[in-house]
Structure 1
């Protein structure tokens, strides 16, 4: 297994730790900042999530730079991304931080795009992610981090930046999903 695949695997291995931090009621105390209370376990979960998210960029960069792109990496990388982001959004719903309907749309889009990619792969076609899809991922990650921080970085401006980021992520999720299907729908017509 090459280094990019090991980096991707590390992302997958961080997911259960992230889930545990947000699911189990650890009594590590509360961080009081800007009239907000954040459980320390949420702060640790944000750090784990940020590290795991950064490995997505790192494994791709390393694989391209050193020409270490493998079929295993092509399989593991998008799976790791979807597992991490889906786990985070589901936990945000469980914690009462994110509306379930938004999370349902976001996860449904991921299933739909994965399904289209599977059909394309069956036809020997590789469907690359577009720029809107990459923006979608960036805004999803930012939204998750700020939501888990209970909007603390932006409490001083007295605006729900966490929810604004979530709605921006939702818009990019929908628009990039529609673009992806419009651009690649020919795969469905070509399948036997």
Structure 2
């Protein structure tokens, strides 16, 4: 990052402001979900999660459409997504909505891909987001929404639908993770080959 990345204009760009709002919403949602939890508080968390998800959708559109993509946004946007998702899923363990080992599968995948991206970046390689990865995020969001929503007559149905979407997100997540590793291996081999074939100095 350069000094310009931290200029007031970049830090206060509208997409970044939406990301800040999403990050602020995280501790609020966690407090709302802290036991003892009522159906009313579950629905409050549902509404807050919907609003946070909307900011995630809008900040990407605004950044691309109005050329307001910043290095700060590239760093904070995925970080906010992961903190929000992982935080809510951890709280859902306490509410018996999801098993701890299932959440471990999700968080473990996120740590692994983040580490892979960091290794790739250190070598000057960029691993582009895949369509499967985006579909994973969508199905994960839908799963969490159903697991949060509380309406006594339909709670069982909400739980089943949320669980199905959660497993779909896990399948897509590990499928896309495999694709990231293949992409990394291919680009790393190309980089290695180009360095070996590059002429050396006298």
User: Above 0.5 in TM-score?
Assistant: yes
More helix by share: 2
The runs of at least 4 aligned residues of structure 1 exceeding 6 Å deviation read 156-159
* Residue aligning to 2:24: 13
CA pair 82-158 structure 1, distance change in 2 beyond 3 A: closer
Q: What residue in structure 2 maps to residue 96 of structure 1?
A: 96
Give the greater-gyration-radius structure (CA): 2
Does residue 66 in structure 1 map to residue 77 in structure 2? no
DSSP 3-state at the match of 1:69: coil
Q: What whole-Å deviation, never above 9, does each CA across 1:75-113 have from its counterpart, x for those lacking one? A: 001100100000011111121110111111111010011
Cα separation, 1, equivalents of 2:160 and 2:151:
7
Contact kept? 2:43, 2:150, Cα under 8 Å:
no
Partner deviation per Cα, 1:2-49 (whole Å, 9 max, x = no partner): 1111111111110000100001536xxx6xxxxxxxx10000001111
Matched, 1:23 2:34: yes
CA RMSD across the alignment: 2.3
Distance in 2 between residues matched to 1:24 and 1:5, nearest whole Å: 32
| 2:189 is aligned with 1:178 | no
Going by fraction, where is strand more abundant, 1 or 2? 1
Deviation, structure 1 residue 56: 1.0
The Cα of 1:159 is off from its aligned counterpart by: 8.4
TM value normalised by structure 2: 0.81
Q: Which residue does the alignment assign to 1:85?
A: 85
Residues 1:139 and 2:131 aligned together: no
- The answer on whether the counterparts of 1:151 and 1:162 sit within 8 Å (CA) in structure 2 is no
Consecutive unaligned residues of structure 1, counting only runs of 5 or more, are 31-38
Measure the CA separation in 1 of the matches of 2:159 and 2:21.
Answer: 35
Identify if the C-alpha distance between structure 1 residues 157 and 23 changes in structure 2 by more than 3 Å, giving closer, same or farther: closer
Contact in 2 for aligned 1:119/1:187 (Cα 8 Å): no
Normalising by the residue count of structure 1, what TM-score does the alignment of the two structures yield? 0.85
Residues of 2 paired with 1:184 and 1:131: CA distance?
16
1:134-185 deviations in Å (ceiling 9; x for gaps):
0000010000110112586966979822221121112111111112212223
Q: How far did residue 116 of structure 1 move?
A: 0.9
